[in-house]
């Protein structure tokens, strides 16, 4: 994709201009050839043959340029990433605090230097080879002058100096045109090598079967069932999920817990069909997810990922993106913001909901991570989807905002299917059901009380969460976060509207 992206802007235009170059060269060549034919046919053949070394040189170096570019895709990527990091305001504080500026600059310089050295070497060799072939052309022009003079005498043509020069100039002109045509041909060859990457990129098939125009996903979803689902990421031998049997139901909230790498996020990726299961199947009200039209499926599932998407748009657009068709519906955007606890914060911005959330733009404002998280949660609320997936939705929130959000999620889950992934807030009432995952498998499930009574993995995690042990390395938890919300907030632990 990197190669295709890099070449797609310039190469097609280059091919076009090269093609028109061939036409112009052909016209020039034809007129010069017509003059030479009045004198001698072998002269014309010589003109064609003399250019062949140049053609070969250009073909060879065209292919070498492509091979070089192909082989250093990773180096180019590294240069771009490292270069970008050094001007990224979000990353700079970390670079400075770790004292990494010189190291990163050194890494960047190392990659950039090897890049330039390869370019210099290639261009030096190419120039040398091209110069050699041009010398051949120049020598041939001298030879042609001598040959025309020889013809003049041997055939008794009685040409004047001007007459000889006319043929020599026609030869030079024809040669130039022929060289131009050759250059265009080799340019097209080189350009088409690069365009092959673009073609190959377009031919890449998605890792899943896309059913556009398949079944429309129903507005009300009663059940999503994972049946013996196993999944391996493309090009990975390890199973990220294996033997997962799990049913999510309308009106029920489920909390997925487990150490990093347990497969929680992967499970949600399968749910919105970023990937399809390697084995087993996922059924939505009894129908395989693959049967549904992808757009309508994703419209029905609101997801907030851990790496939330911060768009350089206004707050209104950032939230409205959750449902592009209703993006301009101010009341709906404000309601989504209110539910995510973002409304007051946005209204305090200089232009309120019309403030651009990026300081790189005029009058733009920067938000904190916690504020961004609320905006992104509001975006998912905007969708009003029957299924809602929140991956660590409270990770960047302060205690108060977290409590309010969990209340909202509790309220929302009564009318939808809510899937929550969290290391935090492992306390009674957080969800109707808790599913504990480890190494891609479900190891426990049940309600909070049952799992605590069982004394298994969840009980251990909850104990860690609720005690100072959470800061010990073997916990496998995000220790600093786990201690941050130790105080018991009654409101958070109680499901609004649920039976006491």
Binding site for ligand ADP (CB under 6 A): 233, 236, 240, 258, 260-266
Residue closer to ligand ADP (CB basis): 262 or 412: 262
Contacts of 71 (CB under 8 A, 6+ apart): none
Residue 474 CB, nearest approach to ligand ADP (Å): 17
> CB of 434 within 8 A of CB of 445?
yes
Residue 422 CB, nearest approach to ligand ADP (Å): 11
CA distance 241 to 279: 10
Give 215's DSSP letter. Answer: B
Q: What is the dihedral of CA 478, 346, 378, 375, to 10 degrees?
A: -40
Residue closer to ligand ADP (CB basis): 239 or 353: 239
Residue 213 CB, nearest approach to ligand ADP (Å): 28
Residue 234 CB, nearest approach to ligand ADP (Å): 7
Residue closer to ligand ADP (CB basis): 201 or 233: 233
Residue 278, φ and ψ in degrees, nearest 5:
-75, -35
β-pairing verdict for 279-284 and 287-288: antiparallel
Residue closer to ligand ADP (CB basis): 173 or 258: 258
Q: Could you write out the DSSP letters of every residue in 231-244?
A: E--TT--S-SEEEE
Residue closer to ligand ADP (CB basis): 231 or 448: 231
CA distance 475 to 482: 10
Give 473's DSSP letter. Answer: G
Residue 283 CB, nearest approach to ligand ADP (Å): 21
Residue 388 CB, nearest approach to ligand ADP (Å): 17
Residue 426, φ and ψ in degrees, nearest 5:
-80, 80
The two structure tokens encoding residue 435:
């599913």
CA distance 389 to 421: 8
Residue closer to ligand ADP (CB basis): 67 or 260: 260
> CB of 381 within 8 A of CB of 230?
no
> CB of 303 within 8 A of CB of 267?
no
> CB of 372 within 8 A of CB of 310?
yes
Residue 287 CB, nearest approach to ligand ADP (Å): 25
- Between helix 52-71 and helix 41-50 the angle, nearest 10°, is 20
Residue closer to ligand ADP (CB basis): 257 or 315: 257
Residue 475 CB, nearest approach to ligand ADP (Å): 15
- Length of the chain in residues, anyone? 500
Residue closer to ligand ADP (CB basis): 262 or 417: 262
């Amino acid at each position: 994709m990197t190669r295709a992206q890099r070449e797609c802007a310039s190469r097609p235009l280059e091919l076009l201009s090269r093609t028109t170059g061939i036409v112009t060269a052909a016209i020039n060549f034809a007129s010069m050839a017509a003059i030479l034919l009045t004198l001698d046919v072998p002269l014309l053949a010589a003109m064609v043959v003399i250019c062949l070394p140049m053609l070969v040189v250009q073909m060879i170096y065209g292919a070498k340029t492509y091979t070089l570019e192909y082989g250093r895709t990773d180096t180019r990527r590294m240069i771009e990433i490292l270069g970008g990091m050094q001007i990224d305001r979000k990353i700079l504080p970390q670079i400075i605090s770790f004292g990494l500026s010189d190291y990163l600059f050194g890494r960047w310089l190392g990659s950039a230097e090897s890049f330039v050295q390869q370019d210099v070497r290639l261009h030096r060799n190419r120039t040398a080879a091209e110069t050699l072939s041009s010398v051949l052309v120049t020598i041939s022009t001298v030879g042609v002058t001598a040959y025309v003079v020889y013809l003049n005498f041997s055939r008794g043509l009685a040409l004047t100096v001007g007459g000889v020069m006319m043929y020599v100039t026609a030869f030079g002109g024809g040669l130039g045109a022929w060289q131009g045509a050759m250059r265009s041909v080799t340019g097209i060859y080189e350009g088409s090598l690069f365009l092959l990457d673009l073609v190959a990129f377009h031919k890449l098939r998605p890792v899943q079967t896309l059913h556009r125009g398949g079944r429309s996903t129903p507005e009300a979803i009663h059940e999503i069932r994972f049946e013996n689902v196993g999944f391996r990421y493309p090009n990975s031998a390890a199973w990220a999920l294996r033997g997962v049997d799990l049913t999510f139901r309308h009106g029920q909230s489920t909390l997925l817990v487990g150490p990093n790498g347990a497969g929680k996020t992967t499970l949600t990726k399968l749910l919105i069909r970023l990937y399809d299961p390697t084995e087993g199947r996922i059924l939505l009200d009894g129908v395989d997810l693959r049967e549904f039209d992808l757009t309508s499926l994703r419209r029905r599932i609101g997801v907030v990922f851990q790496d939330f998407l911060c768009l350089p748009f206004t707050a209104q657009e950032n939230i409205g993106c959750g449902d592009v068709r209703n993006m301009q519906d101010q009341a709906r955007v404000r309601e989504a913001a209110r539910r995510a606890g973002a409304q007051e914060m946005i209204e305090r911005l200089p232009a309120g909901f019309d403030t651009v959330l990026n300081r790189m733009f005029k009058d733009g404002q920067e938000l904190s991570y916690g504020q961004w998280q609320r905006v992104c949660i509001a975006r998912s609320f905007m969708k009003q989807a029957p299924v809602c997936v929140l991956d660590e939705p409270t990770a960047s929130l302060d205690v108060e905002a977290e409590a309010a959000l969990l209340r909202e999620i509790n309220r929302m889950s009564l009318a939808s299917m809510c899937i929550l992934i969290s290391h935090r807030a492992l306390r009674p009432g957080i969800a109707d059901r808790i599913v504990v995952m480890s190494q891609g498998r479900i190891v426990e499930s049940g309600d909070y009380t049952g799992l605590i009574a069982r004394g298994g993995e969840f009980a251990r995690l909850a104990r860690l969460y609720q005690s100072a042990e959470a800061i010990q390395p073997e916990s496998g938890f995000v220790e600093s976060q786990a201690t941050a919300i130790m105080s018991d907030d009654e409101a958070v632990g109680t499901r609004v509207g649920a039976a006491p």
